[in-house]
């Protein structure tokens, strides 16, 4: 691969993987606001 | 999907919403769009469109959905009407039901192919097939009169199995059906995708009959071309892909979000689902189809094969290429590839069922099961023409009007409603209510000004193409050529004369020009244009063949135009029928309101 393509690919992959992981982990770690009356029946 | 419905868990909601967005397009449409629009030339506009149009519209659609849910509305006609009381919004909201039903009509058929190809991969239908035979298999499969398994009307059987599966899951409700499917399907899809992406990236020239390294395809895909920023056509393609991939302008996001209570977050949820879709598309979608196909066929052939979309590569070529990896790996790779396409498909088609069900349950007090089965029946009736007249172009016609044009029209109206009529201040408050993340303030400006302008440009920029489609310009042009084959040679010679005379025919028609560094971008495009022209019309240059084949082809094209013309009023009729149901529902509500007074 040429250097430019490699830089673009690695940058795009890194940003997308980081943002996906960041938001998903934040969802897992954020406690429910009011577990008894929230939108989710299992919590 | 009534008021009693709810999501089982937050992770389940995000996975279902990501599953709604992740579809076959992530693996088949994105790489093809990228390749056809110049590889690296496409990526930059695509990422900018995601930031300036995709993310803002995700915020807007989630916020609109939750806002509608506060007043127990789960379908777009009444969600939009709850934001502005003028009756026109109810009828614009019809798009949010119509699009889902009409797209499901052809999408479930496409989904059934993946199911069938999983089966054929397991039983080894493709073993010992050459490439032409694998391509022929697909033609036989979609032909009603031929059976690849011995089961009569095999494609209809798989389609009905697929419809029944969708309907059954929908009848189990949001948390019991849709969410459970997403919780199983999404992790499996990602797992399969990672495995195939690894195989694609690590493909080595000389091993298993591969001609090039997998990185050759990636190189083409990721080499940036900054001049593309000035190419409007590439921007249109990039914006179209963002719409398609995020399921924007459909009404399904509104419906899913309408089951979230106002004290629960939408900002973080929307971003998590949106970025998860981008992970599947950018990271996995770009690392499977193109690296593998280019590794075996070269960029030029892949470009020629993707002239009519990604279905050709995905269904007609990949099963053959997997055979090169040995019998066991061919089965594993086939099951994984078509399995991931199936999971991508079903998590999207389930989302298409929920607005219809929400509408019937809210407005006509239908039970969930009854609403789910009615969706199955409607999709069966609407989908039948796409199955029976697939080769006559009815499938493509549905895809164009319901799956492409309608999305942009609806999104344009909804952003105007949200930013300018409901008001950006109220809208911004709605997005930020109970938010678990701080939404960058720049998005307030982007949602109000940038996204509507972007959408307006996409809509008006698409007008020439819409006009060409309405008038069947391409088919008519082909008929003109077939009626007078001298025009073919005249235009062919004119195209050839634009290229240097010293270039031999074998260089123009048989070399890998896309990897030739000494050629300019224009020269490469001219060569590819000449090749496409030649591939299409070459056989008619022999008078003996032209006498027999040209009238046949003209008849075929006229039939295509006839069936396409028939499918258009049919789609309009469906839209009007839903609008009529909305009118009845509105009157019911009015009467109920008067009684309560």
The distance in angstroms from the start CA to the end CA of chain B is 28
d(CA A9, CA B365): 51
CB atoms within 10 A of CB A32: 14
In this complex, do A5 and B9 lie within 8 Å of one another by their Cβ atoms?
A: no
This prediction's pTM: 0.94
Task: Look at A39 and B259 and tell me if their CB atoms are within 8 Å.
Answer: yes
- Residue of A16, A24, A27 with shortest CB distance to B278: A16
- What pLDDT score does B145 carry? 82
Which of A21, A40, A42 to mutate to test binding with chain B, by most B CBs within 10 Å of its CB? Answer: A40
> What is the predicted pLDDT for the residue at B1?
60
Grade residue A42 by pLDDT with cuts at 50, 70 and 90. Answer: low
* Euclidean distance between CA atoms B228 and B312, whole angstroms: 26
Determine phi and psi for A40, rounding to 5 degrees.
-115, 125
- On average, the pLDDT of chain A sits at 88
Which distant-in-sequence residues (6+ apart) come within 8 Å of B203 by Cβ?
B210, B213, B214, B291, B292, B295
Looking at CA atoms only, how far is residue A20 from chain B in angstroms? 5
Distance (Å, whole) CA B417 – CA B455? 13
> Among residues 6-35 of chain B, which lie with CB inside 8 Å of chain A?
6-14
User: From residue B395, how far is each of A33, A36, B242, B392, B462 by CA, in Å?
Assistant: 46, 47, 22, 8, 20
Q: How many CA atoms lie within 13 A of B249 on its CB side?
A: 27
Q: How far is residue B102's CA from residue B251's CA, in Å, rounded to a whole number?
A: 12
Mutate to test the interface with A, among B22, B222, B246, B264 (most CBs of A within 10 A): B222
Q: Taking CA atoms, what residue in A is nearest to B66?
A: A39
> Among all chains, which residue has been given the structure tokens 């199983």?
B184
Q: What are phi and psi of B253, to 5 degrees?
A: -65, -45
pLDDT for B307:
76
Per-residue pLDDT at B233: 86
| Interchain proximity B269–A26, CB inside 8 Å | no
B11 closest CB neighbour out of A2, A13, A27: A27
Measured in angstroms, the CA of A32 and the nearest CA of chain B are apart by 8
Which residues in chain B show pLDDT less than 50? none
Name the A residues in 3-22 with CB < 8 Å from any B CB: 4-6, 8-9, 12-13, 16-17, 19-20
Chain B residues in contact with A40 (beta carbon < 8 A): 6-10, 12-13, 264
End-to-end CA distance of chain A: 48
Phi, psi for B7 (deg, rounded to 5): -80, 150
Residue tagged 């954020």 (tokens): A30
Q: Which is nearest to B93 in space by CA: B77, B69, B82?
A: B77
Give the count of beta carbons closer than 10 Å to the beta carbon of residue B495.
16
Report whether pLDDT(A35) > 80.
no
* B283: nearest CA partner in chain A: A13
Q: How far apart are CA B212 and CA B114, in angstroms?
A: 28
Q: Which of B220, B223, B277 has the highest number of chain A CBs within 10 A, making it the mutation to test binding with A? A: B223
Residue A43 has pLDDT above 60, yes or no: no
| Number of Cβ pairs < 8 A linking chain A and chain B | 104
Give the per-residue SS3 of B168-224.
Answer: HHHHCCHHHHHHHHHHHHHHHHHHHHHHHHHHHHCCCCCHHHCCCCHHHHHHHHHCC
Residue B99 pLDDT: 97
Q: Is the dihedral of CA B560, B565, B566, B568 positive or negative?
A: positive
B contacts of A19 (beta carbons < 8 Å) = 271, 275, 278
The answer to whether A42 contacts chain B (CB < 8 Å) is yes
Q: Would the CB atoms of A40 and B275 count as touching at under 8 Å?
A: no
Contact A38 B283 (CB under 8 A): no
B218 to chain A, any CB pair closer than 8 A? The answer is yes
C-alpha distances out from residue B248 to B62, B111, B183, Å: 10, 20, 22
- Å between B48 CA and nearest CA of chain A: 12
* B223:A34 CB<8 A: no
- Catalogue the E-assigned strands of B421-491: none
Could B261 and A39 be called an inter-chain contact, meaning their C-beta atoms sit closer than 8 Å?
yes
Nearest chain A residue (CA) to B50: A16
* Chain A CB contacts of B271 below 8 Å: 19, 23
Q: Mutating which of B5, B7, B10 best tests the A interface, going by the most A Cβ atoms within 10 A?
A: B10
Cα–Cα distance for residue pair B64/B9, rounded to 1 Å: 21
Nearest chain A residue to B217, by CA: A1
Residue A25 sits at the chain B interface (C-beta within 8 Å): no
CA torsion sign for B539, B543, B548, B553 is positive
Chain A nearest C-alpha distance from B345 (Å): 21
What's the pLDDT tens digit per position in B493-530? Answer: 999 999 999 899 889 988 888 888 899 888 888 999 99
Token pair, residue B526, equals: 């001219």
Count Cα neighbours of B167 within 13 Å in the Cβ-side half-sphere: 20
Query: Which pLDDT score, from 0 to 100, does residue B305 have?
Result: 84
Q: Identify all chain A residues contacting B175, using CB atoms and an 8 Å cutoff.
A: 41-42
ipTM: 0.94
Measured over the CA atoms of residue B34, residue B36, residue B41 and residue B47, the dihedral's sign is: negative
Contact A17 B283 (CB under 8 A): yes
Q: Is B359 exposed, middle or buried (0-12, 13-18, 19+ CB in 10 A)?
A: buried
Residue A35: its chain B contacts at CB < 8 A?
none
Contact between A8 and B223 using a beta-carbon 8 Å cutoff: yes
Closest residue, chain B, to A23 (C-alpha): B272
Could you say which DSSP state residue A33 is in? S
**DSSP type of residue B512:** -
Numbers of helices and strands, H then E, in chain A: 1, 0
Q: Which tokens is B466 given? A: 């819409």
3-state secondary structure of B551: helix
The secondary structure of B118-161 as a DSSP string is HHHHHHTTTTT--HHHHHHHHHHHH-TT--SSS-TTHHHHHHHH
DSSP at B258: T
């Amino acid at each position: 691969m040429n250097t430019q393509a490699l830089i673009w690919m690695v940058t795009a992959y890194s940003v997308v993987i980081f943002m996906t992981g960041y938001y998903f982990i934040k969802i897992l770690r954020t406690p429910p606001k009011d577990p008894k009356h929230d939108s989710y029946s299992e919590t | 999907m009534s008021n009693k419905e709810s999501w089982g868990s937050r992770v389940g909601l995000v996975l279902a919403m990501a599953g709604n967005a992740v579809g076959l397009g992530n693996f088949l449409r994105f790489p093809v769009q990228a390749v056809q629009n110049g590889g690296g030339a496409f990526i930059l506009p695509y990422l900018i469109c995601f930031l300036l149009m995709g993310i803002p519209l995700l915020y807007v659609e989630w916020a609109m959905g939750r806002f509608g849910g506060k007043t127990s509305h789960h379908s777009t006609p009444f969600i939009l009407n709850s934001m502005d009381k003028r009756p026109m919004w109810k009828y614009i909201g019809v798009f949010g039901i119509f699009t889902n039903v009409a797209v499901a009509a052809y999408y479930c058929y496409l989904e059934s192919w993946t199911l069938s190809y999983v089966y054929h991969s397991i039983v080894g239908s493709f073993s010992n097939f050459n490439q032409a035979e694998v391509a022929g298999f697909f033609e036989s499969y979609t032909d009603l009169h031929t059976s690849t398994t011995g089961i009569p009307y095999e494609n209809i059987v798989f389609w009905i199995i697929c419809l029944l599966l969708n309907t059954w899951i929908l009848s189990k409700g949001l948390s019991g059906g849709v969410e459970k499917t997403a919780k199983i399907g999404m992790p499996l899809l990602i797992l399969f995708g990672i495995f195939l992406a690894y195989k694609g990236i690590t493909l080595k020239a000389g091993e298993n009959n591969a001609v090039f390294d997998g990185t050759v395809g990636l190189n083409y895909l990721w080499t940036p071309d900054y001049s593309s920023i000035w190419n409007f056509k590439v921007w249109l393609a990039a914006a179209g892909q963002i719409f398609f991939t995020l399921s924007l302008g459909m009404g399904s996001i509104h419906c899913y979000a309408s089951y979230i209570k106002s004290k629960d977050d939408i900002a973080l949820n929307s971003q998590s689902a949106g970025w998860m879709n981008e992970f599947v598309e950018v990271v996995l979608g770009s690392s499977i189809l193109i690296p593998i196909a280019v590794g075996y066929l070269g960029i030029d052939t892949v470009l020629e094969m993707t002239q009519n979309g990604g279905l050709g590569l995905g269904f007609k070529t990949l099963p053959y290429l997997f055979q090169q990896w040995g019998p066991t790996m061919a089965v594993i790779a086939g099951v994984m590839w078509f399995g991931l396409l199936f999971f991508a498909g079903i998590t999207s088609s389930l989302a298409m069922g929920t607005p219809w069900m929400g509408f019937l349950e809210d407005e006509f007090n239908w039970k969930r099961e009854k609403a789910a089965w009615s969706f199955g029946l409607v999709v069966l009736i609407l989908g039948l023409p796409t199955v029976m007249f697939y080769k006559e172009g009815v499938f493509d016609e549905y895809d164009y009007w319901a799956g492409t044009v309608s999305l942009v029209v609806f999104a344009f109206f909804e952003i105007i409603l949200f930013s300018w009529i409901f008001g950006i201040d109220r809208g911004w408050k709605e997005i930020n209510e109970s938010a678990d993340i701080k939404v960058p303030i720049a998005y307030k400006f982007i949602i109000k000004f940038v996204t509507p302008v972007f959408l307006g440009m996409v809509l008006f920029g698409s007008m020439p193409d819409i006009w060409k489609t309405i008038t069947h310009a391409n088919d008519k042009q082909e008929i003109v050529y077939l009626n007078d084959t001298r025009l073919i040679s005249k235009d062919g010679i004119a195209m050839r004369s634009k290229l240097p005379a010293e270039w031999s025919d074998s260089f123009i028609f048989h070399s890998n020009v896309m990897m030739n560094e000494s050629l300019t971008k224009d020269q490469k495009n001219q060569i590819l244009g000449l090749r496409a022209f030649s591939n299409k019309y070459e056989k008619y240059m022999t008078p003996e063949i032209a006498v027999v084949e040209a009238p046949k082809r003209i008849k075929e094209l006229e039939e295509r135009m006839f069936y396409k013309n028939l499918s258009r009023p049919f789609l309009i009729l469906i839209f009007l029928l839903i609008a009529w149901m909305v009118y009845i529902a509105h009157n019911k509500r009015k009467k109920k309101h008067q009684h309560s007074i």
